[in-house]
Amino acid sequence: IRHDPTEVGEYIGQYIAKRINDFAPTAERPFVLGLPTGSSPIPTYQTIIRLVKEGKLSFKNVVTFNMDEYVGLPQDHPESYHSFMFRELFSQIDIQPENVHILNGNAPDLVAECNDYEARIKAYGGIELFLGGIGEDGHIAFNEPGSSLQSRTRIKTLAYDTILANARFFNNDISAVPRMALTVGVQTVLESKEVVIVVTGQRKAEGLNHLWTLSALQTHPWALIVADEDATLEL
Ligand code: GLP
């Protein structure tokens, strides 16, 4: 726990730099880093940019995979996650553009795009460190409440609360917020060697606090839930 978002960003930025430097990546053995968008990681990205400018960190042999992308939003729209990542981080560090992986929300075959993304992650031997943020409803990437803990990269319809929360990036126009996104799955995140989550601000307090003990059953290989119809009303 750190005092405020700036201190959290300083801590995580320094932490990621140390992990990359200790790993000593090369072209043959790159450091594979998973990255999020949102306002929460911005102080972290600022720390990373500063460390790169000071010559204390290099992204030359770092490969990145982003968590998610809106479906149907043009890639050059200022609020696409492509635009966000290049504006807030990639254009300011020494990463090689071919090492950047972001889901294509305009791919002609979205299912194939998701499967290919998983295959690309596997081809690199998995993700070394996945940095993530959380939504107010506790989502990671765009894995809304109810997402299977076993889920993989796929198309998700956004929860209404998420559309409301993200309207601030679209001039508060709810109708301008895309309804669907491509997102890595919960299992995709869980399979990475290390996961670092940034949570700042009172808005996230509930998301950080909520734990449904029953969800642990999702990780059991042979679990049976028997419900009556009334109990399924929120599914
Ligand atoms: C979006 C992203 C999430 C992110 C969340 C929180 O829903 N898909 O990956 O964690 O926003 O954003 P913020 O950090 O701006 O609160």
Lowest-confidence segment of 31-45, 157-171, 218-232 by average pLDDT: 218-232
Q: Distance from the CA of 165 to the center of ligand 1, in angstroms?
A: 9
pLDDT at position 115: 98
Class level of CATH domain 5-232: alpha beta
Alpha helices in 28-70 (DSSP H): 42-53
User: Does the structure show a pLDDT above 80 at 216?
Assistant: no
68 is catalytic: yes
Average pLDDT of span 210-232: 84
What are the tens digits of pLDDT across the range 166-207?
Answer: 999 999 999 999 999 999 999 999 999 999 999 999 999 988
Is residue 137 annotated as a catalytic residue, yes or no?
A: yes
Q: Which of 116, 136, 137, 161 is catalytic?
A: 137
How far CA 169 is from CA of 92, 117, 166, 213, in Å, comes to 22, 26, 6, 34
Over residues 57-85, the mean pLDDT reads 97
pLDDT averaged over every residue in the chain: 95
Q: Which residues line ligand 1 (CB under 6 A)?
A: 36-40, 67-68, 133-135, 141-142, 162, 166
Give the mutation target among 35, 37, 160, 197 for probing the ligand 1 site: most ligand atoms within 8 A of CB. Answer: 37
Please state, in angstroms and as integers, the Cα–Cα distance from residue 74 to each residue in 82, 106, 148, 190, following that order: 9, 7, 29, 30
Q: 134-155 pLDDT, tens per residue?
A: 988 889 999 988 899 899 999 9
Mutate to test the pocket of ligand 1, among 40, 84, 204 (most ligand atoms within 8 A of CB): 40
pLDDT tens digits, one per residue of 94-133: 999 999 999 999 999 999 999 999 999 999 999 999 999 9
123, two tokens: 């081809």
- C-alpha 37 – ligand 1 centre gap (Å): 6
pLDDT at residue 224 above 80? yes
* Predicted pLDDT at 221: 83
As for the ipTM of the complex, it is: 0.94
Q: What is the pLDDT of residues 6-61, one digit of tens each?
A: 999 999 999 999 999 999 999 999 999 999 999 999 999 999 999 999 999 999 99
Q: What is the best residue among 88, 136, 139 to mutate for testing ligand 1's pocket, by most ligand atoms within 8 Å of CB?
A: 139
pLDDT confidence tier of residue 234, bands split at 50, 70 and 90: confident
Give the integer Cα–Cα distance in Å for 217 and 224. Answer: 9
Domain limits, the chain: 5-232
Q: Could you tell me the pLDDT band of residue 214, with boundaries at 50, 70 and 90?
A: confident
Using CA positions, which residue lies closest to atom 6 of ligand 1? Answer: 135
pLDDT score at 225: 82
Cβ(64)–Cβ(100) below 8 Å:
yes
Interhelix angle for 5-23 vs 42-53, to 10°?
Answer: 50
Active-site hit among 68, 69, 113, 128: 68
